[in-house]
Amino acid sequence: MLKNSSILNQRYQLETKLGQNAGRQTWLGLDISKSPPEPVIVKLLAFNPQIDWEEIKLFEREAQVLKHLNHPRIPKYRDYFSLDSHRGEGLPWFGLVQDYINGDSLQNMLDIGKRFTEKQVRQIAISVLEILTYLHQLSPPVFHRDIKPSNLILAKDGQVYLVDFGAVQDRATAEGVTFTVVGTSGYVPPEQLWGKAVPASDLYALGATLIHLLTGIPPTDLPQNQMRIEFGERVKIRTSFMEWLEILTEPASEQRFISASQALLALKSGRNDPIRLAKSNQSYRNPVNYRRLAILTLPQIFLIGIVMVFGWSSWNSGKKVQYEARQNIEEMNLYQEKYYEMHYKFDTERNYLMNTTELYYYNTSTTSNEALNHAWPVDPDDYFKSYFGGVFVDSMSEVLDSQEIEIKIKSIICEADDPGNISPPQPSAQNSCPQGSKQIGVPRVKLIRLKNKGL
């Protein structure tokens, strides 16, 4: 019988049982091999004739995936082991051990009546999207498939952690391959019910979770209209944030943001993708002075209306196209940052986007110390501006007696001053936008530490 003070694998002492159901147990324990002992979470699965074999496969997959993850807000993997049948009521057990996070789940906070403000929910969204960006950019990508309030831990230090990778999928769905349907009702997107998970599937679950935090009501208890969660009348939040949540929870995956990094960019900028959200066109419209129009003749009003409609349509269309190009450059920058962090070099073989779209060419060129991402209009006569991004190894320094190297990575985005450039200018060696262009936003700086392998 597993009980308090039991020592598993000659290393983990069970302290407090946190949960139990259908052959599973979760314990708070101590890693007594450390001095002083360190708190850990021990997840146990009993093997018995009644258990679904798929549960064991998912448990093992969780251990294998966690073993290769390295993110500061995902509890670190420590161990995976099996116990002999003489323990635990004659049943063999499998154990998975992770670092303990001192905090409380968002579900527990909701259960005791906690209500989250828009500011708090936005910060939670940013934290989770940063984790998802890391997971989805792995090779192969990792899809969590069960994001919900109970799997998000708000630690005492204010950081949000993503836990419970028991439903994780570490490869894309292949044609003709059947996957177990996993997820939690209310948070699982329609495509996942058919066993197909994509990056946008985790975005849907995140959106449903954020709506739960804002309303205090589980998504299953909220009304729906054509499979869309209806929550607008129950919250008082900025229109741009509400529209952003509506995109995240679109029933059709192709109508959501295409990636966690794109969703994060839209959230931080306050500007949702206008191509996917038609109602956002309202934000570009200027009020009409009807009083002044009243003194004009009908033919004059008709001509003014024609000019306004065509002028507005052309201007708004250009804004949409340029904004999409700028977003794509941002994603290309993010990809190269993550690739360098994982491989100690930039990706020289793969363009993050296809070489051309209908209106823009895209290209990537790299050296050992920089990655340059270009976007310029297909037709030089179009009134569209070119963009380029730069990701640079800004500096290196040795730390800890040369056992590690600290590297500063800097990313920028520049917009050409004039439209229609056939080839955009390139950043200078000083990592700044050259003459004839201007910087978009604030440069992003990241410090990473790598083992010294003769870089």
DSSP output for 107-166: HHHHHTT----HHHHHHHHHHHHHHHHHHHTSSS--B----SGGGEEEETTS-EEE---T
Read off the amino acid at residue 201.
S
Whole-angstrom distance, CA of residue 332 vs CA of residue 429? 20
Read off the amino acid at residue 446.
K
Measured in whole angstroms, how far is the alpha carbon of residue 356 from the centre of its chain? 25
Instruction: Please confirm, yes or no, whether 417 is among the known catalytic residues.
Output: no
Q: Which residue has the tokens 């994001």?
A: 147
Whole-angstrom distance, CA of residue 383 vs CA of residue 420? 6
Strand 77-83 vs strand 38-46: parallel, antiparallel, or unpaired? unpaired
Cross-strand pairs, 408: 395, 447
Whole-angstrom distance, CA of residue 188 vs CA of residue 182? 8
Whole-angstrom distance, CA of residue 111 vs CA of residue 113? 5
Whole-angstrom distance, CA of residue 278 vs CA of residue 345? 40
Question: What's the length of the chain?
Answer: 455
Cross-strand pairs, 81: 95
Name the packing angle between helices 298-343 and 118-136 (round to 10°).
50
Strand 404-419 vs strand 385-399: parallel, antiparallel, or unpaired? antiparallel
Nearest to 202 by CA among 267, 253, 166, 150: 253
Categorise residue 113: left if φ over 0, alpha if ψ from -120 to 50, beta otherwise.
Answer: left
Cβ atoms < 10 Å from Cβ of 380: 13
Q: Torsion angle of alpha carbons 365, 371, 377, 379, nearest 10°?
A: -10
Biggest CA pair distance of the chain: 96
**At 44, is the secondary structure helix, strand, or coil?**
strand
- Within 289-413, residue ranges assigned H as helices are 290-293, 298-343
Nearest to 162 by CA among 231, 65, 29: 65
Nearest to 78 by CA among 40, 35, 109, 49: 40
- Which is catalytic among the residues 146, 164, 202, 273? 146
Q: Which residue has the tokens 């990508």?
A: 141
Residues with a catalytic annotation lie at 146
